[in-house]
Chain A
Amino acid sequence: MNAMAKIISGWLCTGLLMIGGIDVSAARSQTEVLDENQAPGRTMAQQATKERQIWITADHSRHEILQKEFTSGPEVTKACLSCHELAAGQFHKTIHWTWLDPNVPPGERIGKAGHSINNFCINLNSNEPRCTSCHAGYGWRDGSFNFKDEAAVDCLVCHEQTGTYKKFPTGAGHPVQEPTIFAENNQTYNPPDWNLVAQSVGRPTRANCGTCHFYGGGDDGVKHGDLDSSLAQPNKMLDVHMGLDGQDFDCVRCHTTTLHNIAGRTYATPAATHRKSLIEDDLAAKIMCESCHSSTPHKPGVKANDHTDKVACQSCHIPEFARVNATKMYWDWSTAGNKKDGKPYKEKGPHGKPTYDTKKGDFRWEKDVQPAYFWFNGSINAITARDPIDPSQPVDINWPVGSRSDQNARIFPFKVHEGRQPYDKINKTLLIPKLFGPKGSGAYWAEYDWKKALENGMQAAGLSFSGEYDFAETRYIFPITHMVAPKEKAVTCIECHSPNGRLAALTDFYMPGRDSFRAINIIGWVLVLGTLVGVTFHGLGRAIVRGRKED
């Protein structure tokens, strides 16, 4: 096909050149940009990103207001806002601030700050000071936090560029005032040099986003599987766009931002509702592969171009996730609470990761994980701590929306995190435990009493708890979209087009190489073998008769 197309186009070009007398030098200058052996989608993306010089018109180290003495984060924020008056107001409207799905009414309480559940540390309510060390704000200690306070926005965590600014893990978003050791990881946290960090501000880099997003779930690579500290300084093998030896993309290269609102999926809202390339809309968010690569990125005539309507780029181009660091695949809360000599303990297993923790139960970590594949239209639905569950079988806490018949749905790779977590035996809902807090607060990690922890957690969330609990099996999914491998590492045809391949579980459509028709095969082989047997006997008959005649 390809060769034929080339020959035909070659003739056409020659013909045009002869007929029209097109300037040959103009044609040559174009070939310098366009390598004809390169996939057009690659060329397009290179052109879309070739202007890499970022220009800046302000030097924050010379701003007087950033040279005064600071003793806390909010003081720095006020200084920022003295010039960037609208920044806090913009940021207050984003999910990074509210931790609630911005696309549903706040009353529905969809989001981390609401009643949404996962099967990691389950929910924020009653655990604020620990969880909100990843809030881009200061002082979210409990339900009384003032979300209207402009000075409570933490500009630095996203914008400072020294790498020295660290929020204390249990500080409700504040850094420490004095050098402090965090017992959990034995690391010393130092108070920031406020002037240094304030004067260093710039566009967010991988390190800024990674501060929280690489460590979701409380440690490196716990949650996503395609986001962990290995992406801070990746090579091209790990991520072909972000690799320092390649394009060196920052997160914001694709997660483009308008008024502090960063492009990406939020709960049931897809990252992009229309599949548009920059050719169709040059101001569109660059959040999709197709934004830069178009929907037919491969060389003309390559079958993969036909697949883009039903198969997401990620499905073939991210063959495995967690390729450098392991990610957590299983978390059983029901075994938490065991002690050695009356003391909590941890056990380390493969990949240097804990397999047991008295506070949290049993874990399983995996590396180089092959994703699970589901139909996905960009929307993820989820239950909350209010929704009824059927604990007799694994509970899907969230699930990708889409099906074979959904025009917008494509086959997409996912990490599936399984676990066992507390549920209410009477109310048949998942439960929110109070995990973090001092002794006497009822926190599980202080007192190891599930009943108390669940009572406190549910009360803080404003939900009812019958007092009877058990542990239910649950599943939680994450779409896999980072760690895009170089094209040589892409999933090959046979890995799906075979009976026990990657798509063996997606049985709602016919796929050549994977599916066969039993009845047709039986009829077919009876026909073929019947013919074979028929001609064999006929031939034998002739041979015997001829032999007799010759005798």
Chain B
Amino acid sequence: MTGPLQAVGWVVRRDLTLALRRRADVLTSLFFFVIVVSLFPLGVGPEMATLRTMGPGVVWVAALLASMLSLGRLFALDYLDGTLEQMLVAPYPLALLVLGKVGAHWLASGLPLVLIAPFLGLQFGLAASSLKVLMAALLLGTPTLSLLGAIGAALTLGLRGGGVLLALLVLPLYVPVLIFGAGAVESHAAGLGAQGHLSLLAAFLVLAAVFTPWATAVALRISLD
């Protein structure tokens, strides 16, 4: 008999193995992120001051959309092949298994965004110190996006046109993360320091990690009833 924590570790490992074997899925949302961010300098023109002000916001909005794009797959495949049903009848707390799935999802689709963001930030002429703040903010903010998004993904399971509905449900919830995430870089660039913004992002993350898995678990049970 494996303990609940081992079961979570196993869920993470299995989902990462699957992500490695289905690399195309992971790469599409990463390329989507790169392309959306790169379109802005091309569309707005090379005005350095404008780019610098809008840079953090653009990177964040693109990260929101990319994370939305990959959310649809979080539970959908498990739902279709019956694995989700098995997770519901497993002798482990469903919220813990959900946490494992969301963790693996973030490692496969959120972490790459964080790692590539500084290179994209260069297109907007952000200073090296701003890039560091941008990365730190994304590192704290993107897991919150995955956790919040999981609730929407669970609620829209098996619905036709669930993708659009998912966006309508989840994007408003992303607003606070967007405001403080983009705000962190702006306030750093203005010389005010990013400490406050980053602390708030960390607080969001802790709250989301504690509460959203329960909500997601309930939503999954409703979707499968």
Indicate, yes or no, whether A interacts with B: no
Mark A residues whose CB is within 8 Å of B: none
Residues of B within 8 A of A (CB): none
